[in-house]
């Protein structure tokens, strides 16, 4: 047999986030955890990204409890999460004490691999999370948010990878959130990284543009060690390529794949039923499973495109979509070519809508774009257009150095504030990340338990 290629299964996180807005509750996938654990994956991506927010906001679940339950049911497979560097799981930067404690607790509750990225590819925004992951004894997967622009060159990516290795990365992930990388580009990028560092490379992409399958084959040819896939019923469209299809193709090409086909068949049969339920109730929109090649022209990820459409629909301006799509790359260039990934994708998209609907560019500017121009999100890949920056800031002071250095510690004060409501540091972390959601959740939990106690006393 040839070289071994390993798989990360995404159905518990990114596949269900991409197709059904992360609405998969624990009890829906619990019956399959033992099977996933026996399937032979390198890792199961099951936490981070939007899962934390959605557990509290929509599913009435404690995200920490979910992680502990997955860990207990899957003792043999590495668990993996996605972390937005200094943003952790939110949309703005948090103080270092929060980042460090969050990572420590994630590992204590069962996390093995933490995939750390930054929306601007600013490694200074990844440093604290990387160090905390290494200190906690977990695998730090240093991540490139892939994008194409005049300033995103092979040399720049290689330079970034070397810095991530210095920070303690055990693996490198190429994260192509828009599905825009082509077969030749990935071959060249993987080859360049392999020549510069001796670390395993994991490739993550989406089927949005239809390029993912040939991209995975060329990436493996160039030396990629791990690929992210989704079990077939939750694959394709804005999700990842199908696990079973990639296993079949790679084996035929002579690579060694250690996946257990009986397990993946059982998973596919199970998740087919789940998928059909979500199609029937309207959660899974057929469009999410389609191919959209316009991403190649505008570099707009699938999720961002649906957000733009929703926004315009609410304003009765869906007929202006073409104009907004043409404006988006212009705003991105003005902002120094940020990769379009959370939160920069939302910020650039909202600004493009504002520019088109106001009839004047940068007449209306969101507070996030102001903060971005002040330097609160980090160093941009290219300089922000100076005239635009001046118009937006109107004399506001620009942040020098790393923005998180200006933030006061937050954990100790929050512990005191939540006395009597928070039971543990995990509750405190949930509150710092999503204050209102976590407070509502903890109050409901307290009320429920008080009712149970009263009932049992009456019974006695």
Q: Band of the pLDDT at 449, cuts 50, 70, 90?
A: confident
Kindly report, residue by residue over 352-387, the tens digit of the pLDDT. Answer: 999 999 999 999 999 999 999 999 999 999 999 999
Quote the mean pLDDT of the chain. 94
Interhelix angle 425-433/63-73, rounded to 10 degrees, is 120
Residues 6+ apart with CB under 8 A from 76: 37, 38
Kindly report, residue by residue over 15-70, the tens digit of the pLDDT. Answer: 999 999 999 999 999 999 999 999 999 999 999 999 999 999 999 999 999 999 99
What is the enclosing helix (H) or strand (E) of 413?
helix 411-417
Angle ∠(312,348,291) on CA atoms, nearest 5: 65
Q: Band of the pLDDT at 426, cuts 50, 70, 90?
A: very high
Q: What share of the chain in percent tops pLDDT 70? A: 97
Helices (H), 223-343: 243-252, 261-280, 294-298, 302-314, 321-334
The Cα 397–Cα 374 span in angstroms is: 7
Helices (H), 315-410: 321-334, 344-358, 367-374, 386-393
Q: Tell me the chain's radius of gyration from C-alpha atoms.
A: 22
Give the pLDDT of residue 369.
96
Give the pLDDT of residue 1.
62
Q: Please indicate, yes or no, whether the overall pTM of this predicted structure exceeds 0.85.
A: yes
Kindly report, residue by residue over 79-99, the tens digit of the pLDDT. Answer: 999 999 999 998 889 999 999
Residue with tokens 């049992």: 456
* Least confident residue range of 157-166, 246-255, 291-300: 291-300
Output the CA torsion sign for 173, 328, 127, 44.
Answer: negative
Contact 142, 130 (CB under 8 A): yes
Q: How many residues does the chain have?
A: 460
Would the pLDDT of 342 be above 90? no
Would the pLDDT of 458 be above 50? no
Angle ∠(421,427,430) on CA atoms, nearest 5: 125
Which pairing describes strands 201-204 and 171-175: parallel, antiparallel, or unpaired? parallel
Kindly report, residue by residue over 273-312, the tens digit of the pLDDT. Answer: 999 999 999 999 888 899 988 888 887 776 677 778 888 9
Kindly report, residue by residue over 382-407, the tens digit of the pLDDT. Answer: 999 999 999 999 999 999 889 999 99
**Tokens describing residue 310:** 């929703």
Domains identified in the chain and CATH numbers: 6-280 (3.20.20.70), 293-404 (1.10.472.90), 410-459 (no CATH)
The Cα 450–Cα 126 span in angstroms is: 42
Residue with tokens 């930067």: 93
Give the pLDDT of residue 285.
87
How distant is the alpha carbon of residue 8 from its chain centre?
14
Contact 291, 237 (CB under 8 A): yes
Would the pLDDT of 460 be above 50? no
The Cα 165–Cα 399 span in angstroms is: 27
The Cα 152–Cα 100 span in angstroms is: 30
Residue 349 backbone dihedrals phi, psi, to 5 degrees:
-60, -45
For residue 139, list its beta bridge partners: 113
Give the pLDDT of residue 455.
42
Would the pLDDT of 340 be above 70? yes
Angle ∠(416,109,225) on CA atoms, nearest 5: 135
Give the pLDDT of residue 302.
64
Residues 6+ apart with CB under 8 A from 81: 13, 45, 46, 47, 48, 49, 106, 111, 113, 114, 115
């Amino acid at each position: 047999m040839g070289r071994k290629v390993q798989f990360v299964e995404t159905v518990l996180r990114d596949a269900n986030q991409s197709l059904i807005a992360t609405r998969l509750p624990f009890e829906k996938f619990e019956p399959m955890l033992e099977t996933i654990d026996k399937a032979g994956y390198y890792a199961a991506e099951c936490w981070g990204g939007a899962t934390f927010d959605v557990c509290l906001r929509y599913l009435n679940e404690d995200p920490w409890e979910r992680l502990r339950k997955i860990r207990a049911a899957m003792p043999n497979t590495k668990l993996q999460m996605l972390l937005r560097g200094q943003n952790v799981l939110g949309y703005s930067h948090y103080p270092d004490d929060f980042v460090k404690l969050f990572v420590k607790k994630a590992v204590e509750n069962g996390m093995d691999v933490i995939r750390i990225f930054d929306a601007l590819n600013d490694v200074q925004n990844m440093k604290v999370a990387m160090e905390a992951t290494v200190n906690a004894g977990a695998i730090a997967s240093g991540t490139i948010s892939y994008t194409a622009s005049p300033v995103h060159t092979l040399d720049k990516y290689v330079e970034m990878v070397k810095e991530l290795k210095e920070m303690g990365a055990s693996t490198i992930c190429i994260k192509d959130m828009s599905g825009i990388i082509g077969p030749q580009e990935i071959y060249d990028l993987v080859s360049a990284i392999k020549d510069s560092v001796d670390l395993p490379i994991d490739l993550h992409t989406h089927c949005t543009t239809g390029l993912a399958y040939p991209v995975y084959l060329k990436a493996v040819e160039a030396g990629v060690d791990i690929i992210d896939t989704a079990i077939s019923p939750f694959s394709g469209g804005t999700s990842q390529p199908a696990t079973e299809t990639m296993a079949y193709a790679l084996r035929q090409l002579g690579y060694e794949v250690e996946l257990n086909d009986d397990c993946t068949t059982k998973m596919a049969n199970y998740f087919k039923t789940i998928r059909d339920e979500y199609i029937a109730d309207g959660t899974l929109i057929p469009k999410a499973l389609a191919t959209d090649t316009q991403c190649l022209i505008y570099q707009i990820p699938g999720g961002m495109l649906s957000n733009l459409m929703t926004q315009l629909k609410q304003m009765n301006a869906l007929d202006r979509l073409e104009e907004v799509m043409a404006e988006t790359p212009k705003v991105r260039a003005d902002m120094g070519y940020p990769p379009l990934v959370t939160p920069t994708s939302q910020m650039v998209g909202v600004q493009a809508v504002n520019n088109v609907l106001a009839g004047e560019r940068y007449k209306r500017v969101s507070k996030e774009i102001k903060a971005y121009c002040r330097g609160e999100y980090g160093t941009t890949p290219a300089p922000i257009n100076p005239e635009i920056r001046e118009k937006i800031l109107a004399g506001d002071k620009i942040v020098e150095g790393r923005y998180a250095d200006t933030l006061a510690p937050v954990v100790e004060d929050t512990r005191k504030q939540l006395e009597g409501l928070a039971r543990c540091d995990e509750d405190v972390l949930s509150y710092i990340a999503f204050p209102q959601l976590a407070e509502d959740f903890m109050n409901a939990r307290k009320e429920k338990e008080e009712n149970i106690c009263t009932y049992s006393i009456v019974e006695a």
